[in-house]
Amino acid sequence: MQNPQALQCGLCGAGQLEHYHQDKFRDYWQCQRCKLVSVAKWHRLSPQAEKAIYDSHENDLHDLGYRRFLSRVFDPVCARLDGMKRGLDFGCGPGPLLAKMFTEVGHTVALYDLYYANDASVLEHEYDFITCTEVIEHVAQPEQVLSQLMALLKPGAPLAMMTKLVIDKTRFASWHYKNDQTHISFFSRETFEYIAEQFNTDIEFIGNDVIILTKR
């Protein structure tokens, strides 16, 4: 079963994955086409083990530090919205603070989370904006999630994602972000540029970890 030849990129589907890094727990592979770095299937946690980890770091709705952290995505999205809009927070987690921040200023936000708000009916509407913070690095098949989200966006609407970016192999080796066993897909600027091209969106990088894809 541990056959690297059988590995396939979860974003672009390419088969030529190159070994990128190995640590105590896992091997990481890089797609030569879209540059996604991912963890092989046999090193991924079960859904139960994954959820147990999420339950253990529940985010606090009243935590000021967390609010400041989310403002990095909240502020630029708000700046792009004209009037009261309807959004979706995809992968909201157990404490949907980002949605609360949007509703505090008058927007409406639907919640979706595989584990904490699994209501598929919210994925049948169109939205003026979608946020997806600290989510995509937990997804084994990013292509599926991105296609789904793109289909829910109205033309001109932003999809704001937050995830730490891969810089290079040397920094990857000492990167704390990869040590979280629930993180299985790692994106670089090049990977997001590939995504923007594939989905025909505009792209903006804000700071180190916020990426806004705007549907044309």
The greatest distance separating any two alpha carbons of the chain, rounded to the nearest whole angstrom, comes to: 53
* Cα-trace Rg, the chain: 17
Q: How many helices (H) and strands (E) does the chain have?
A: 6, 10
Could you say which residues in the range 30-89 bind Zn ion, by CB under 5 A? 31, 33-34, 36
CB of 183 to Zn ion, least distance (A): 5
Closer to Zn ion by CB, 81 or 112: give it: 112
Judged by CB under 5 A, which stretch of 8-16, 43-51, 85-93, 101-109 contacts Zn ion? 8-16
x/- contact string, 120-149, with Zn ion (CB under 5 A)? --------------x--x------------
* Nearest distance, CB of residue 125 and Zn ion, angstroms: 26
Q: Which is nearer to Zn ion, 127 or 186 (CB)?
A: 186
Shortest distance, position 135 Cβ to Zn ion, whole Å: 7
- List CB contacts of 129: < 8 A, sequence separation 6 or more: 77, 80, 81, 85, 87, 88, 107, 153, 157, 158, 159, 160
Q: Is 12 in the site for Zn ion (CB under 5 A)?
A: yes
Measure the N-to-C terminal CA separation of the chain; round to a whole number of Å.
42
Polymer length of the chain? 216
Dihedral angle of Cα 31, 153, 210, 16, to the nearest 10 degrees: 0
Select 37 or 150, whichever has its Cβ closest to Zn ion: 37
Interacting residues toward Zn ion by CB under 5 A? 9, 11-12, 14, 31, 33-34, 36, 134, 137
